[in-house]
Each structure stands twice: as C-alpha cells, then as structure tokens.
C-alpha cells in the first residue's frame, strides 16, 4: 500500500508542479494568479529593485526573496503577497527536483526509501501512543539507581545464607503465582487467593509489594512477569472502599520503588494515577485525610471504631514520603501540598506532655482520645518524620525538629526498663502506662539507630545504644517462645518480661519489624550478633512457617504444634525477606546514604538538595 501511495503522490506532485510552473513561468502569469487566488493584483517591482528589511538573512537579500517585518510594524500587503508567492514557487521547484531525482533512482533505492519511511511512520505512532499513555507527565531525567549491583558477599558462609533467603523468596513467589496469581495474597494451606478488605477490590497486592525485592535479588524473569501483569491488569477504577494508608504504603510505595530501580515509565504512570485517585481522601474540613476512601465515588470516612470519628496518626502521618515523590515525578505540587498541610495542622495543636495522641478528628482538627503509642496506630508517623528529614537531603529541618522533640517526649514518658534489665516502650493512656510492647513497636530500634547521626550533640551514642537495647528486648520476645518467632504483643507486668500473656496476642503473622531493626543495627554497628539473630529467624521461619504452598503465619508461637493462620502476607515478600537478604549482603547493596525505605520497605531515593534547586528554577 505504501508503494502505491508513494507512486500516486509522485504523480500528483509532478502534476501540481507543472501547473504551478506554467503559472509562474508563463509571461504575466503572476497577474493571473493574484487575480484568481488573492483578488488583488498589485504591480510588483522587479526583484532587483526590492530592498531587504532589517531582519532579512544575507541569502534572502541575494535572492530578493523574504522580507521580514519588524516586530509590531503593520504588514505591507504588497510585500506579504510577494513573500507568499516566492515561497510557493520555491516549494514547488523543490518538489519538481525531488520528483526528477526519484525517477532517476534504482528500484532498490526506492525500496530502501520506502522502508525508511515505514520505520519513521512506526516511530511516530509509538511516540503518539506514549504521549497518550503518559499524557500530562513531564519528562523526567531518569537517574540510574545507585547501589543495585548485586555482588556476591566475599564470605562463602554469608553468601550461602543469602542464597537461602533468595530460595525462600522463590518459594513464596512461585506458590503465589501458582495458586493466587493476580489476587492480593496467597492462602498457602488452602492453596488459593486471599482477599483483604484493606485494598477494596484493587488486585495484585503481592505482585506490587514484591517488585523491588525481585529486582534486588536479581529475579529478572519474575520482575518482568510482574511488570507485564501490572501493564495489563492493575486497575484503580474500583467501586469499593480502600484503606488510604495501606494502598499508599504498598501500592504507591511499591510502584515508585519499581520505577526508581528500573526506570520503567509504566510504574511512574501507575503511581501518579493512583496518587490522583487518593486525593479526594483529603476533602475534609481540616485537610487531615479520611482513613477509608471509595476510589470511584471519592467518598471518604473513618474507621467506625476510631475514637469519636477520628483519623489515625500512623495512617495520615504515613503519606509524606510517597506524596513528596509523587510531586517530584508528576511535576504537580498538589501531593506535597496535601502532606505539608497535615504537618501544619499538627504543629498548631497543643501536645499533651509533648506526645502525639493516636487520634485526630478531621472535622474539628482536634485530638480524639489521648492514647499514645510507638506501636500500632502511631508507629510509622514517627518513622516518617525522621525519614522526611533524611529524604530531603537533611534540608527539611521542621521534620527533624518534630522527630527529635517527639523522641525526647517518648523517652521521658514511655520508655522504661524492666527489673530484668530489658528496655521497652510502653503505651500511654491519658497519663497511665500500659506495660505492653507490640511486635510493631520493634521497628523503633532501627529508627533510633538510623536517627542517631543527626541527634543533638552528645546524644548520637545514646540513640545507637537505645536502638541496640530495643533490638535486644525484641530478640528476647522471640527467644522466649517455643517457635523462636515473636508474638504480636508482649508484656512487662504480672511477673513476666517480654512474654505474651493474652491468648489473642500470641500470634505471628510473618511481620518484619524485628528483622528490620536487626538490618539497621547490622548496617550501623556491624556487630555479628545481628546476623546471628537474623539467621535464627530464618531457621524458625523455615521450621514453622514454611509449608508446601508458601509461608503461613502462626496462631500461637508458644505452642509446640503449628497452628497456621493460612495467610502469606504481602509484606513478607516486600519487607521480611528483603531485610533478611540485606543483612546477608554487603553494605554497598542499597546504601543508606542514598536510599530511604518507606514503612513497607519500598525504596525511595534521597531527593538531592542541589538537584531540587535546579528543578525549582
Ligand atoms: C506493614 O504493612 C508495614 O510495615 C506497616 O508499617 C506496619 N504493618 C505491616 C507489617 O507488619
């Protein structure tokens, strides 16, 4: 078809050229042309008599062709007409020349030209498709990720252990793929999909959560499978309620991380698309977002159990890192504005004893019940203050101040030492302490150590030690169980230390926080006990959680027989296995000077201050 079109085009342009040639070259033909086409026939002076205007080029002056008009000067109709005629003549002379040249070409040459043209058409189509697909997103100068070369650790034993962890990832992934592909999570005992209401009917939580772990473990084929599932199936037009926090940390975080590691545009596009879908959650009188959102209708609400219709500190306080990156990658400041407003609301409020209560009413902008926790309901709010400062290349001094002020209040009012010498972080209820620490709270060991470097003078060592003490306490909570995996919560009262006393606190759902703290402590101190403790956890997972169909959580870690909960949580692949893998890798894999882990262990690069200045300009 292209050949036919090409020949027709050739004939047609030759015909047009001849017609125009006749008009221009026949005596007095310009009169005829101007009479027919322009309804005016001013007499033009011969070319030699014309003078070039101020903006004319030398060659134009020579040929007496184009006369540029000075900015703002009124157009001279005679000159404009003359100008147009000269351009038309020139174009047609060129077409005639090209037609002649083509007719002299060998068939092979014509063939080659056709192929080149075809290629160009295909390229244009691709570009058009990309423009449609990524419409609205600015070009981003993708920076190749730092520290993703996956070198084998020099020590053979360490290397073997690391290989074992990769095998665990394969087992978890392959079973998910086999029994629950495209669904959110896997039920490893029933060997079917598991749906959690946290994601409404968005699908593929495990796929998105696992992306960066697959990437850093070098599981390239699996990463590609995941990517193509996302391209074809990941859909956010769902008419169901989702948890804004969970969708943000797992989906937005997972997509951003995959983009920063691979540079694949699809991840950036999906992350921004999802970010936009989450924006209606902020339509509250204070701008503090709802916990739950119907992504189709844009209607939000809070958990019915939350104190007086409040939003939850750990939920609205764990959007900052991802939203700053959404603005960075979309060129749209709206995401950053939303999370900066949360901070503004918080900074205006009086804090009881300098502590942040877990509940805040989005309508009144006032605290709900005065319950303070560094575990569930509060945890990642503190984590994100510290990481906001680090991720801003240490320029976000407001976040730094908020973090260190909060930590000081936590130390004064919540951190205690048991009679057996274990440091723990209690919970605070209107001034009274509950001597209980959650598995979730164990992340704080890593947080204290990570922040140590930026602590006010003389406190660096203190915060490193505090991190180490929390790590030891959490290790004890594992060590004092039968399964050597820690319970959901453990207590320091009624004559026990670091032990769960209530039946409904004895479960372990493959959570990462203790191993996360080991990872930071290992990186920051290189004390071999952290690798030892991490390996104990690997052995326990292999002995008690591994089943034919994947990995399962346990209902009671003190019992001698496994009682499976039949869920392979997506964070097992996103966090637990990633942190374990890093503990047995060299420090130059994902160096902490370049990367921030979001609360789901997804990777976000530090936004360099010098680059930001250039962007702002
Ligand atoms: C994860 O989704 C995140 O780590 C979150 O911050 C807390 N809960 C789970 C893991 O336990």
Measure 333 CA to ligand 1 centroid, in angstroms.
Answer: 27
Q: Which residues pair with residue 241 across a beta bridge?
A: 294
CA separation for the pair 5, 498 (Å, rounded): 81
- Is residue 495 very low, low, confident or very high in pLDDT (cuts 50, 70, 90)? very high
Ligand 1 atom 1, closest CA: 600
Task: Say how far apart CA 195 and CA 198 lie, in whole Å.
Answer: 9
Residue 38 has a pLDDT of 36
Residue 509 DSSP symbol: -
Minimal-distance CA residue to ligand 1 atom 3: 600
For the stretch 455-470, pLDDT in tens is 988 999 999 999 999 9
Ligand 1 centroid to residue 407 C-alpha, Å: 20
Protein residue closest via CA to atom 11 of ligand 1? 511
Q: Which residues of 585-601 are buried (b: 16+ CB within 10 A; e: fewer)?
A: bbeebbebeebbbbbbb
Atom of ligand 1 nearest to the CA of 440: 11
Instruction: Say what the pLDDT of residue 284 is.
Output: 98
Do residues 209 and 250 make contact, with C-beta atoms less than 8 angstroms apart? yes
* Nearest atom in ligand 1 to 380's CA: 6
Above 60 in pLDDT, residue 544? yes
Examine the pLDDT at 63 and tell me if it is beyond 60.
Answer: no
pLDDT digits over 255-288, tens only?
999 999 999 999 999 999 999 999 999 999 999 9
Atom of ligand 1 nearest to the CA of 575: 4
pLDDT for residue 73: 43
Contact 508, 551 (CB under 8 A): no
Under 8 Å between Cβ of 425 and 414: yes
Q: For residues 292 and 245, is the Cβ–Cβ distance under 8 A?
A: no
- Distance from the alpha carbon of residue 376 to the mean position of ligand 1, in angstroms: 9
Contacts of residue 249, defined as CB under 8 A and 6 or more positions apart, other chains included, come to 318, 322, 380, 598, 599, 600, 602
Does residue 41 have a pLDDT over 70?
no
- The answer on pLDDT for 561 being more than 70 is yes
Q: How many Å from the N-terminal Cα to the C-terminal Cα in the chain? A: 50
pLDDT band at 545 (very low <50, low <70, confident <90, very high): very high
Q: Which residue among 247, 575, 596 is best mutated to probe the pocket of ligand 1, counting the most ligand atoms within 8 A of its Cβ? A: 575
Residue 410 banded pLDDT, cuts 50, 70, 90:
very high
- Residues 478-490: pLDDT tens digits? 999 999 999 999 9
Determine what percent of the chain is predicted with pLDDT higher than 90: 75
Cα 571 to middle of ligand 1, angstroms: 7
Task: Give the Å distance between the CA of 599 and the centre of ligand 1.
Answer: 6
* 360 phi/psi in degrees, rounded to 5: -140, 125
Q: Which of 31-45, 295-309, 413-427, 448-462 has the lowest mean pLDDT?
A: 31-45
Give yes or no for a contact between 326 and 335, defined as CB atoms under 8 angstroms apart. Answer: yes
The confidence band for 94, taking pLDDT boundaries of 50, 70 and 90, is confident
Q: Is the pLDDT at 67 greater than 50, yes or no?
A: no
Q: Quick one: which atom of ligand 1 is closest to the CA of 383?
A: 6
Q: Whose CA is nearest to atom 10 of ligand 1?
A: 511
At 98, is the pLDDT very low, low, confident or very high (cuts 50, 70, 90)?
Answer: confident
Mean pLDDT of 155-169: 98
Residue ranges of the annotated binding site for Ca(2+) are 599
**Could you give phi then psi for residue 442, rounded to 5 degrees?**
-65, -15
pLDDT at 72 over 80: no
Which position has the higher pLDDT, 19 or 121? 121
Q: Which residues are catalytic?
A: 246, 379, 488, 513
pLDDT the model gives residue 7 = 64
pLDDT of residue 178: 98
Closest CA to 258 of 613, 609, 543, 600: 600
| pLDDT for 127 beyond 90 | no
Q: Which pLDDT band, with edges at 50, 70 and 90, does 210 fall under?
A: very high
pLDDT at position 120 is 67
250 CA: nearest ligand 1 atom? 2
Say which residue, 47 or 231, is predicted with more confidence: 231
Q: Please say if the pLDDT value at position 215 is more than 80.
A: yes
**Closest C-alpha residue for ligand 1 atom 2:** 600
Ligand 1 atom closest to the Cα of residue 511 is 11
Domain boundaries, the chain: 156-606
Tokens describing residue 98 = 């090209």
Instruction: Read off the pLDDT of each residue in 145-152 and give the average, rounded to a whole number.
Output: 95
- Please give the average per-residue pLDDT across 106-126, as a whole number: 72
132 alpha carbon – ligand 1 mean position (Å): 36
User: Residue 88 — very low, low, confident or very high, per pLDDT cuts 50/70/90?
Assistant: confident
Contacts of 170 (CB under 8 A, 6+ apart): 219
Query: How far does the centroid of ligand 1 lie from the alpha carbon of residue 72, in Å?
Result: 64
Residue pair 289/253 in contact (Cβ under 8 Å)? The answer is no
Mean pLDDT over the full length of the chain? 89
**In this predicted model, what pLDDT tens digit does every residue of 15-30 receive, in sequence order?**
776 666 655 555 444 4
Q: Give the residue among 264, 172, 194, 249 at the shortest CA–CA distance from 580.
A: 172
Upper half-sphere CA count for residue 12 (Cβ side, 13 Å): 6
Instruction: For ligand 1, atom 8, name the residue with the nearest CA.
Output: 440
CA distance 373 to 188: 32
Confidence band for 126, pLDDT divided at 50, 70 and 90:
low
Q: How confident is residue 138, by pLDDT bands cut at 50, 70 and 90?
A: very high
Q: State the binding site.
A: 599
pTM above 0.85, yes or no: no
Which pLDDT does position 133 carry in this prediction? 47
Fold classified for 156-606: Glycosyltransferase (1.50.10)
**Where does the pLDDT of residue 78 fall: very low under 50, low under 70, confident under 90, or very high at 90 and above?**
confident
Q: Say which residue, 67 or 229, is predicted with more confidence.
A: 229
Q: Please give the DSSP secondary-structure letter assigned to residue 576.
A: I
Tens-place pLDDT, residues 496-528: 999 999 999 999 999 999 999 999 999 999 999
Q: Please give the average per-residue pLDDT across 39-43, as a whole number.
A: 36
pLDDT greater than 70 at residue 370? yes
Q: Probe ligand 1: pick from 185, 243, 249, max atoms within 8 Å of CB?
A: 249
Please indicate whether residue 109 or residue 221 has the higher confidence score (pLDDT).
Answer: 221
CB under 6 Å to ligand 1: residues? 249, 380, 440, 511-512, 571, 575, 599-600
Mutate to test the pocket of ligand 1, among 198, 512, 520, 573 (most ligand atoms within 8 A of CB): 512
What pLDDT, on the 0 to 100 scale, is given for residue 51?
35
Pocket test for ligand 1, best of 208, 316, 376, 440 (most atoms within 8 A of CB): 440
CA of 432 to the centre of ligand 1 (A): 26
């Amino acid at each position: 078809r292209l050949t036919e079109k090409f020949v027709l085009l050739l004939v047609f342009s030759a015909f047009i050229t001849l017609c125009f040639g006749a008009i221009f070259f026949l005596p007095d033909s310009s009169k005829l042309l101007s009479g027919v086409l322009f309804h005016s026939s001013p007499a033009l002076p011969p070319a030699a008599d014309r003078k070039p205007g101020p903006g004319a080029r030398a060659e134009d002056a020579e040929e007496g062709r184009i006369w540029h008009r000075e900015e703002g000067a009124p157009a001279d109709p005679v000159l404009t007409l003359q100008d147009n005629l000269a351009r038309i003549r020139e174009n047609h002379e060129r077409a005639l020349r090209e037609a002649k040249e083509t007719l002299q070409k060998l068939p092979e040459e014509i063939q080659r030209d056709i192929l080149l043209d075809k290629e160009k058409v295909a390229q244009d189509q691709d570009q058009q498709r990309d423009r449609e697909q990524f419409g609205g997103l600015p070009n981003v100068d993708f920076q190749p990720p730092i520290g993703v070369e996956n070198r084998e650790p020099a020590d053979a034993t360490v290397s073997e252990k690391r290989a074992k962890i990769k095998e665990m990832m394969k087992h978890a992934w392959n079973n998910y793929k086999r029994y629950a592909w495209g669904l959110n999570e896997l039920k490893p005992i029933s060997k079917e999909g598991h749906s959690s209401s946290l994601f409404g009917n968005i699908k593929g939580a495990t796929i998105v959560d696992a992306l960066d772990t697959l990437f850093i473990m070098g599981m390239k084929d699996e990463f590609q499978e995941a990517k193509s599932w996302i391209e074809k199936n990941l859909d956010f037009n769902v008419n169901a309620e989702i948890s804004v926090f969970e969708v943000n940390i797992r989906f937005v975080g997972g997509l951003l991380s995959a983009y920063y590691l691979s540079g694949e545009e699809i991840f950036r596009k999906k992350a921004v698309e999802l970010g936009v879908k989450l924006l209606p959650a902020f339509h509250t009188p204070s701008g503090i977002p709802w916990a739950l959102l119907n992504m189709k209708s844009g209607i939000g609400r809070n958990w019915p159990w939350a104190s007086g219709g409040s939003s939850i500190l750990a939920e609205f306080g764990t959007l900052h890192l991802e939203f700053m990156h959404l603005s960075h990658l979309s060129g749209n400041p709206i995401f950053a504005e939303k999370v900066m407003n949360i901070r503004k609301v918080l900074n205006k409020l009086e804090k009881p004893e300098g502590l942040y209560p877990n509940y805040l009413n989005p309508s009144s902008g006032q605290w709900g019940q005065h319950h303070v926790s560094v575990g569930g309901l509060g945890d990642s709010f503190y984590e994100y203050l510290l990481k906001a400062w680090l991720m801003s290349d240490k320029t976000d001094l407001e976040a730094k101040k908020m973090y260190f002020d909060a930590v000081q209040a936590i130390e004064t009012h919540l951190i205690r030492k048991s009679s057996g010498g274990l440091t723990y972080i209690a919970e605070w209820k209107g001034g009274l302490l509950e001597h209980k620490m959650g598995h979730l709270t164990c992340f704080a060991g890593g947080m204290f150590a990570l922040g140590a470097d930026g602590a006010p003078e003389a406190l660096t060592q203190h915060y490193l030690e505090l991190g180490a003490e929390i790590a030891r306490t959490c290790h004890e909570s594992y060590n004092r169980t039968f399964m050597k995996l820690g319970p959901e919560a453990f207590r320091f009262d009624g004559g026990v230390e670091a032990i769960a006393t209530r039946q409904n606190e004895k479960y372990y759902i493959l959570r990462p926080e203790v191993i996360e703290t080991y990872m930071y402590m290992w990186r920051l101190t290189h004390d071999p006990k952290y690798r030892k403790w991490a390996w104990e956890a690997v052995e326990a997972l292999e002995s008690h959680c591994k089943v034919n169909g994947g990995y399962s959580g346990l209902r009671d870690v003190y019992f001698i027989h496994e009682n499976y909960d039949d869920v392979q949580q997506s964070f097992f692949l996103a966090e637990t296995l990633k942190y374990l893998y890093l503990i047995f890798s060299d420090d130059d894999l994902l160096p902490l000077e370049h990367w921030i882990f979001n609360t789901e262990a997804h990777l976000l690069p530090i936004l360099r201050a010098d680059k930001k200045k250039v962007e702002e300009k």
